[in-house]
Amino acid sequence: MRPSPLLCALAIGLAASADTADAQGFQVNEHGSCVMGRGGAGVALPCPDGSGMFYNPAGLLTRRGWTISAGVTAIDAFGGFSEDLTGNKTDLVNNVVPVPHFYATYGREKFAVGFGLFVPYGLGTEWPSTFAGRFAGWDNNLSNIYLQPTLAFKPHSRVTVGAGLDFVVGKVTLTQRVDLSEQLVPDPALQQAIPGATFGMLGIASGTDFANGQLNGSGTAVGGHFGVLVQLTPRVSCGAKCVARVGIRYEGDVDFEPVATGIRLPAGNPLGVPAGTPLDSVVAGAFAPGGPLVDQDVSASTTMPDQLTVGFAVQVTRAVTLLADYNWVNWSVFDTLPVTFENPALSSRTVESYQDTHGLRLGFDWAASSKFAVRGGYIYHTAAAPAEVVTPLLPEGKRNEFTVGLGYAFSSVLRADVAYQYLSQQNRRGRVREFPSGVTPDLSLNTGLYEFKAHLLGITLTAGF
């Protein structure tokens, strides 16, 4: 029996899930309900709640003294895959995911320090274990925690700069099934007679589960972020934020468990075993020491891409401010993915060919009174994954998002911000099977349509003193 292609697919998912998160698929930009209500536009005018550490580190000087804020964004994602041939639709398993954020800052007239904790990549895709795409991935979870110390300085009355370090702690779990029909028959005599003979050639139907593989991996990295704010006029400001590319190495292990096929071999079968012999006993050697599905270590090294966000904020009246941000992510750095296994024969290099992404964020902030604020916004974002690499691991596409938000100051010390966001992704054609390792992906395996939408609800409490 040959080494399962699932091993490569699992490791590919290990690294690819972590990185595609940064583009948008698993990415969470909602780390402060004030900016979330504005459609994520905050690089030119961060909110005074410490979230500038994420949106623009130069924004830490928007408040003096201590600022402590904490909150959570609850994400309710739903969608599915419709097959071309049958028209059958399989829905994603719908689980609400809470994504927390925390900030603590201290600012003086020209200097500020801060510390932030948030999870910019903290979602997952879970499909029923009977889904046609279970052989590419059916239960996948990712969480990348960022610990971010930040400094800000005001060298000029109109200019503020900020910078800091990103300490990243990542964890990922990926689960896939193995298709018996694709496995080589473990019979030397049969292989000599028919080189490359698979169980599919012996009549085993495509899509016959006989193993479940789960990969658990983790990795750490250190990166940097930089930002600048310029007050062009008393009513117009501009800003920019840059996130440097980060190399991260994920280390993990793959655990395989057999899945009973329930098949009994007939008389006169090509394997020469007695009639009624369970097929599961024939393939049991795949899980024994030396077999292709033995538990083993795996690692993958990837590069998280550079990012640049620039924007403007215009105070059109004393109460109303309009904001616009443009975001670019250098996804072309994710071109190939090298994967290393404990068994060197399984190591591979997979073509990904990602594309740079571009996003537009528009918002307004209306201070209806000294205590009450109303916000709204719109977000558009392109996709990083080309059409030939859209899989169940990350069926991402172009997105339109709409936001509304409210803020209320209970006192000069305590305020609360809430926001709602609706995410509508353009349907994308994709595949449910993986290409063999080393083969350049094309559209030949795209067999259906992926749909994805989500509701997000955020709340942040901020205390300043």
Could you read off the pLDDT of 417-460 as tens digits, one per residue? 999 999 999 999 998 887 776 677 888 889 999 998 999 999 99
What confidence score (pLDDT) does residue 7 get? 55
What confidence score (pLDDT) does residue 301 get? 79
State CA 325 to chain mean position distance: 22
The 10s digit of each residue's pLDDT in 278-295 is 999 989 988 988 888 888
Confidence class for position 25, pLDDT limits 50, 70, 90: very low
pLDDT(17) > 50: no
- Rounded CA-CA distance 126/133 in Å is 11
Pairing status of strand 320-329 against strand 336-341? unpaired
Name 163's bridge partners.
151, 226
Q: What angle do CA 399, 400, 401 make, to 5 degrees?
A: 115
- Rounded CA-CA distance 368/376 in Å is 13
pLDDT above 70: percentage of residues in the chain? 92
Confidence class for position 391, pLDDT limits 50, 70, 90: confident
Confidence class for position 392, pLDDT limits 50, 70, 90: confident
Name 378's bridge partners.
362, 402
CATH number of the domain within which 361 lies: 2.40.160.60
Pairing status of strand 65-83 against strand 399-409? unpaired
Give the range of the structural domain holding residue 91, as residue numbers without chain letter.
5-248+298-464
Distances, alpha carbon 87 to alpha carbons 35, 84, 446, in Å: 41, 6, 14
Residue 167 lies in a domain: yes
Residue 276 lies in a domain: no
Mean pLDDT calculated for residue range 273-277: 91
Give residue for tokens 């800003």: 239
pLDDT(9) > 60: no
Would you say 67 and 463 are in contact if contact means Cβ atoms under 8 Å apart? yes
Would you say 320 and 336 are in contact if contact means Cβ atoms under 8 Å apart? no
3-state helix, strand, coil in the chain (%, to 5): 15, 50, 30
What confidence score (pLDDT) does residue 22 get? 37
The 10s digit of each residue's pLDDT in 59-97 is 998 888 999 999 999 988 889 999 998 889 999 887 888
What confidence score (pLDDT) does residue 187 get? 83
The 10s digit of each residue's pLDDT in 353-375 is 788 999 999 999 999 999 999 99
What confidence score (pLDDT) does residue 125 get? 79
**462 or 25: whose pLDDT is higher?**
462
State CA 186 to chain mean position distance: 38
Residue 21: how many CA atoms within 13 Å on its side-chain side?
A: 30
Residue 335 lies in a domain: yes
Residue 79 lies in a domain: yes
Q: What is the DSSP string of 203-261?
A: TPPTT-EEEEEEEEEEEEEEEEEEEEEEEEETTEEEEEEEE--EEEEEEEEEEEEE---
- Rounded CA-CA distance 419/459 in Å is 7
Give residue for tokens 């528009």: 362
Name 144's bridge partners.
121, 170
Q: Residue 64 has which token pair?
A: 């003096």
pLDDT(197) > 50: yes
Residue 282 lies in a domain: no
- Rounded CA-CA distance 271/263 in Å is 14
Residue 269 lies in a domain: no
Distances, alpha carbon 182 to alpha carbons 60, 198, 294, 295, in Å: 56, 6, 17, 20
3-state SS record for 31-54: CCHHHHHCCCCCCCCCCCCCCHHH
Distances, alpha carbon 32 to alpha carbons 17, 102, 348, in Å: 24, 9, 40
Residue 284 lies in a domain: no
pLDDT(126) > 90: no
Would you say 248 and 220 are in contact if contact means Cβ atoms under 8 Å apart? yes
Q: Where are the alpha helices (DSSP H) in 270-360?
A: 279-282
Confidence class for position 4, pLDDT limits 50, 70, 90: low
What confidence score (pLDDT) does residue 303 get? 78
As a residue count, the chain comes to 465
Mean of all residue pLDDT scores within the chain: 87
Residue 370 lies in a domain: yes
Total domain count, the chain: 1
pLDDT(379) > 90: yes
The 10s digit of each residue's pLDDT in 31-46 is 999 999 999 999 999 9
Q: pTM of the full predicted structure?
A: 0.87
Would you say 55 and 61 are in contact if contact means Cβ atoms under 8 Å apart? no
